[in-house]
Amino acid sequence: MRKLLLASSLVFSSLAFANDAITIEEPFARAVPPGQPNSAAFMSLHNSSDADVRIISATSNVSNVTELHTHTDVDGVMQMRQIDAIDIPAGGTTELKPGGLHVMLIGLNQNLAEGDSVEVTLNFEDGTERLLEVPVKHVMPMMNHQHKH
């Protein structure tokens, strides 16, 4: 019985540690004009542990729906797609940035103006979560630089 309790506490300790191992740098949400229904949040996620960490969902106080997204090339056209998770490799960094992985804020319930801040909660596969206070910044939209020959 004692071994079972010790094993259980070690598993619980490693689960609680996964969230603590993630350092979040330079988070920001995209400012959008009044009436714009959607925005996105971006950041750099560094995992200092020796185990992969996975974000499985997110929530926000400014959107009706919050989803994990990526951009995918579909027949030469970049399209946003919802994904099930964002992986942060052991000892590695995952970038959430315009044109790549991001947290999509859908159905905004308030305007997002530069200088505001929003709450974004990242939910990890181990059951832990991280509440972030994310500044809203003006970001130039992605330009489509495709050249057809």
Percent of the chain with pLDDT over 70: 81
Tokens of 143: 């330009």
Tokens 């990526």 locate to: 70
Asked if residue 135 has pLDDT above 70, the reply is yes
Q: How confident is the model at residue 17 (pLDDT cuts 50, 70, 90)?
A: low
Domains of the chain with bracketed CATH: 2-137 (2.60.40.1890)
| Reported pTM | 0.81
pLDDT tens for 86-111 read 999 999 999 999 999 999 999 999 99
Q: What's at 23, amino acid-wise?
A: T
- Answer for the pair 116, 138: CB distance below 8 angstroms, yes or no: no
When comparing pLDDT for 73 and 41, which is higher?
41
